[in-house]
Homo-oligomer: A and B are copies of this chain.
Amino acid sequence: MKTNFIHTYVSVDCVVFGFDDEQLNILLVQRNNIDENDPKRLKLPGSLIFDNEDVDDAASRVLYELTGIRRMTLKQFRCFAAPDRASNPQDIKWLDQAYKPDIDRLITVAYFSLCKIGRKLNVSNITKYKAVEWCPLSELPDMPFDHNKIVEASLIDIRRWIETDPVIVFDLLPQKFTISQLHRLYESIYNKKIDIRNFHKKVATMTYVLPLAEKQLGVSHRAARYYKFDKKAYNRLKTSI
């Protein structure tokens, strides 16, 4: 009988993106200090999964506990299972206190989710974490485990996803938005400058992005037109392909 097969705990971790008109942000939670020497550590929201729970259900549970929102779009994008991903002594100590002792290895299934940042977070259910906050993608701290790596990987997957199914982009925007907002959002996701004239051409091909009669009010520059995402038009297009 071989005895060297992994026998492990499994967790889910969620990368929740929000866009605040200028940049992409990620929802982070503050984990409880392990001891006096432990600095404030921000991490991705996550949880071990229960013994009667599927991973997708665990991810929905974590997001509900965090945000009070039951139906957020969640995409599973990868399992992280490097043998040493939970080998940092501080991380092990935190697992000891937050969950149970002697967790020697931990694999995690990672999800991403996109939401409107204006959405009110209902964090009343949270007992495990001290605080929940939006953190700009460009200012991410050094996080526990391999959470920084998970965020990087999620961005690569989101870009790939958008190429085939751009609908998820509009989950990040308010109901009505300007082309300039959409442009900044694309620049944030791809982390590069995108020529605005080329971008206008691209938007012109998006027959599901419809101009509204309404324009911006009370702005010092020339008021920009608002647009909306027409989900029905988008779905018609998708099914006709």
Contact = CB atoms under 8 A, between A and B. Distances in A.
A10 interface: yes
Interface centre among A78, A79, A109, A160 (most CB of B within 10 A): A79
Contacts of A78: 76
B1 A5 contact: no
Nearest to A98: B2
Interface in A104-124: 105, 107, 109
B51 A105 contact: yes
B50 A10 contact: no
A76 B107 CA distance: 15
Given A49-B81, A79-B76, A81-B109, A7 B5 contact: no
Nearest to A5: B48
A37 interface: no
Size category, A interface: 20 to 34
A10 B81 contact: yes
Given A7-B9, A49-B81, 10 more contacts: A5-B48, A5-B51, A5-B99, A6-B53, A8-B9, A8-B10, A54-B83, A79-B109, A160-B164, A164-B164
20 contacts: A1-B100, A2-B99, A2-B100, A3-B100, A5-B9, A5-B48, A5-B49, A5-B100, A6-B50, A7-B7, A51-B105, A52-B83, A54-B81, A54-B82, A55-B79, A55-B107, A76-B78, A76-B79, A79-B109, A160-B164
Interface of A: 1-10, 48-56, 76, 78-79, 81-83, 99-100, 105, 107, 109, 160, 163-165
